[in-house]
């Protein structure tokens, strides 16, 4: 079993760290919130007084931070960059959702320093983090992936090797952009059907068994009452917030811009979530975008 430093113990990071503890690892946990640290300690982890202390003796480091600038600052360019303290040969698994360019830059800096930094953003939400069923999309060399896999297995179910450094972030951005497209598209198709007299449950079933079939119809129907146990049937509470989807779409647009990859549908989805957000719905689950289409 390994010694693992964990930095960033929020809604996602906290349960992930606990699952590492449950997996038998020695976890040194750090967060700016003491309360967040204590939740991990109460499950058997140990508290680190600083990010530096969390990583100093670790074989692995897992980080879960809000944006690329935090990742780059923490490890490389900040006042007291962690890359100066990490053990030779350590493997850093960054599960933050950040831009691929930054992920590649930090990976390059790691290589120069004699350590490994791989990008491994997740999907599956808070529920998946708690249940240990997250999907990881990993950008790493084959050797790094093989080394990280047992650690990731403690926290997730589907561990995808997307490609070289940065590829995990690329895959995440592509998938979430497509998800935004599926959800808006499904919402507007169902709404048009309903406005023309169809029962949304019937139309959902027809499209699910036809060429309109997609993830939203399968497990995340946006129309209240069609499906049990999904956010739409719970006033769009819980789930994946509009604000987070908007952030992810911003990353996708940045990737589009830097690589000159045309994304007319993704751009449209971002615009729609933006309109929905300025209507005051940023805190609702993203399937609430259906409301944007409905008569007010």
Q: Which one from 28, 172, 195, 208 is the annotated catalytic residue?
A: 172
Query: In this structure, what are the phi and psi dihedrals at residue 71, rounded to the nearest 5 degrees?
Result: -65, -50
C-alpha 279: how far from chain center: 25
Residue 130 binds a second copy (CB under 8 A): no
Whether residue 195 lies in the annotated active site: no
Residue 150 binds a second copy (CB under 8 A): no
Which one of the spans 40-48, 80-88, 166-174, 225-233 is the region binding a second copy (CB under 8 A)?
A: 166-174
> Applying CB under 8 A, what is the total number of residues that bind a second copy?
84
Buried/exposed code over 118-144 (b: 16+ C-beta within 10 A; e: otherwise): bbbbbbbbeebbbebebbbbbbbbeeb
Which one of the spans 80-88, 112-120, 141-149, 165-173 is the region binding a second copy (CB under 8 A)?
A: 165-173
Write down the least CB distance from residue 86 to a second copy, Å: 24
Site string for a second copy, 263-292 (x = CB under 8 A): xxxxxxxxxx-xx-xxxx-----------x
Q: Which two tokens stand for residue 82?
A: 């962690």
The Cα–Cα gap between 27 and 40 comes to 9
Site string for a second copy, 93-122 (x = CB under 8 A): -------x----------------------
8 A C-beta contact, residue 200 and residue 193: yes
> What are the C-alpha distances in Å from 201 to residues 193, 206, 212, 220, 274?
11, 9, 14, 13, 28
Residue 171 binds a second copy (CB under 8 A): yes
Residues recognised as catalytic: 172
């Amino acid at each position: 079993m390994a010694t693992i430093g964990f930095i960033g113990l929020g809604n996602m990071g906290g349960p992930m760290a606990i699952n590492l503890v449950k997996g038998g690892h020695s976890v040194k946990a750090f967060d700016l919130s003491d309360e967040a640290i204590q939740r991990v300690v109460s499950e058997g982890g140990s508290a680190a007084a600083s990010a530096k202390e969390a990583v100093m003796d670790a074989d692995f480091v897992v980080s879960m931070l809000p944006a690329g600038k935090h990742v780059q600052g923490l490890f490389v360019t900040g006042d007291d960059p962690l890359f100066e303290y990490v053990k030779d040969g350590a493997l850093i698994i960054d599960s933050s959702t950040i831009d691929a360019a930054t992920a590649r830059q930090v990976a390059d800096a790691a290589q120069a320093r004699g350590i490994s930094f791989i990008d491994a953003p997740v999907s599956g939400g808070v529920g998946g983090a708690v249940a240990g069923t997250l999907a990881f999309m990993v950008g790493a060399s084959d050797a790094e992936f093989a080394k990280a896999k047992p650690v990731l297995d403690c926290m997730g179910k589907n561990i995808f090797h997307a490609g070289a450094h940065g590829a995990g972030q690329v895959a995440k951005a592509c998938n979430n952009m497509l998800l935004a497209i599926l959800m808006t598209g499904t919402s507007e198709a169902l709404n048009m059907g309903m406005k023309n007299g169809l029962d949304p449950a019937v139309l959902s079933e027809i499209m699910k068994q036809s060429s309109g079939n997609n993830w939203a119809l399968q497990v995340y129907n946006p129309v209240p009452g069609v499906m049990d146990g999904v956010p739409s049937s719970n006033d769009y509470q819980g789930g994946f917030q509009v604000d987070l989807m908007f952030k992810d779409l911003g990353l996708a647009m940045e990737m589009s811009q830097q690589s000159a990859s045309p994304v007319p549908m993704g751009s449209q989805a971002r615009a729609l979530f933006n309109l929905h957000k300025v209507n005051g719905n940023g805190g609702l689950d993203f399937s609430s975008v259906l409301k944007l289409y409905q008569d007010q």
